[in-house]
Structure 1
Amino acid sequence: MDSKTSDPTADGRLGSVQDPPLRRTARDASKIVIVGGFGVGKTTMVGSVSEIRPLSTEETMTQAGVGIDDLSQVEHKNTTTVAFDFGRITLNEQRVLYLFGAPGQERFWFLWDRLFSGSLGAVVLVDTRRLEESFYSLDRLEAHGMPFVVAVNRFSGPRPSIDRVRDALSLPGDIPLVECDARTRESSKTVLITLVRHLARLQDPTAFEEIAP
């Protein structure tokens, strides 16, 4: 694979950007993992929502992946995550999330156990065109006993209802299932807030944590 470098500036120009420092009021930091199949938008989600320049281990795909990586539904994808993506988002004055996007290809799944270590919860990002690729993520999280929410990243093509997606994934009713656009910061942030609220309810069923958008 050939290395791919991404421009750190928001406007596409070369140059340095000063990342916002962690707030002095931050008291609660949590590690969150974003998992899912190949090309579902994990790197995009981390990049769209992170308040710091995301660390990405994307590499340019080469002939080495021919016959291994399934590009049938992601023909225009020419890069792939080979370790993990990393970002940070502050939800309110006290709560900070550290985001780790897991690699999607099967040949890199051996890295998932280390990414799961110390994680409070997870987001399973799914593409309705390839729902079958979500089953491995769901099985692994359930085996680890890790709480999670499922986010449907809406791409072009058929748009089955949330209820149909839940049925197709055999997802219990107590696991949140939401729609999102991983390219949009507010949409991705809503997914993370949904996860934090889900975790709060699991710790205290009577709790409904209000988090400022």
Structure 2
Amino acid sequence: MADALGTRWAAAGHDLMVAGRTAGKAQALARKWGGRAGSFKEVAEFGDIALIAVLYQGMATTLAEIGDALHGKPIVDCNNPVEIENFTLVTEPRRSMAQDIEQATGGHVVKAFNLCHARVWQLKPPTFDGRRLVVPYCGSHPGAQEMTRHLIADIGGEPLPIGDLQQAHHLEAMAAIVISLLFGGRDPHTVFNLVDRATVTTNT
């Protein structure tokens, strides 16, 4: 997700800096984007807004490393706390990972970009049947929401605000369904189509 979204934002003219638990991977992404790599503290000081993109199994460790570096900063959370044995959420009932990230960092979290496979975000732009992909997002801080809206538009998506950060739980629950379908073999680009349009024929 960091690669897919970062590549699109770099192409849109954003100046990017990346941090990661594996320095080599962070440096490789930075080179690809024409940006820079640094520590979590350096990235937090550099950026106007941060994207956290981590598998849920590594989230606690990552947040511990970030500490309070992102305190007061807008943060985009694209992660899904979904285990892939039963495709259920691993968070507490009625509690989202987005809320956990906000509590841990003291940042202003916006949930976005969590309902599509990374391959969808690689589309230039993400359009289907000539229509822009609708991207729902939610957060409780107006400034962070506005910055996220611009990031969605910058990759060609149609921003759709759905409320405050309490709605993140619903986005994450929806992601559990999407992920189960993807693991079942659905095409990431047409995950909800029962029949691929390319195979449909009609008699005339």
TM-score band, normalised by the shorter chain? 0.3 to 0.5
TM-score when normalising by structure 1 = 0.38
Bigger helix share: 2
**Relative contact order higher in (CA < 8 Å, ≥ 6 apart):** 1
- Structure with the larger strand share: 1
